[in-house]
Amino acid sequence: MEVERLTVQTTTRSPRRWILLASALGSMSLVVALMAATAPPVQAQAAVGVPQFNRACGRCHPNGDEDTGPDLHNKNLSVEAMTKVIRQGTKRMRPIAPTKLTDADLARVMTFLRSIHAVR
């Protein structure tokens, strides 16, 4: 009731405001629709974790490719195995501690790794 009365009051006071709001919402949904049409979800997902990967791993696995470290594409490791490699290291790869790469950033890196099928 209270809300209805308020709405009615505002509407009667300044109907133009509502017209402006409606047209603003209209153009916003047009923009959203255009964005959805031009950016496939796969690309949006791949972009997640790229900066974090570049920072923590890119020096030795640039873009997931071979350099100091091996090519990570299609490694198809489990998330557990990948987490173990990152947190505990291997013979030649040093462990990366949460102080260097937080769990939240590790999760973002994992999203990137999934996009190149390094993890399944």
Q: Report the candidate in 78, 90, 85, 60 with the shortest Cα–Cα distance to residue 117.
A: 78
Q: Using CB under 6 A, which of the segments 7-15, 16-24, 32-40, 53-61 binds ligand HEC? A: 53-61
Name the one residue in this structure whose structure tokens are 């133009």.
Answer: 16
Contact between 96 and ligand HEC (CB under 6 A)?
A: yes
d(C-alpha 118, C-alpha 72), whole Å: 5
Contact between 69 and ligand HEC (CB under 6 A)?
A: yes
In this structure, the chain runs to a length of 120
Contact between 74 and ligand HEC (CB under 6 A)?
A: no
CB of 47 to ligand HEC, least distance (A): 17
Contact between 116 and ligand HEC (CB under 6 A)?
A: no
What mask of x and - would describe binding to ligand HEC in positions 9 to 48, judged by CB under 6 A? Answer: ----------------------------------------
Residue 26 CB neighbour total at 10 angstroms: 10
Give exposure, 83-106, as e/b (b: 16+ Cβ within 10 Å): bebbeeeeeebeebeeeebeeebb
Q: What does the binding site for ligand HEC look like in residue numbers (CB under 6 A)?
A: 56-57, 59-61, 68-70, 72, 75, 77, 82, 85-86, 90-93, 96, 101, 109
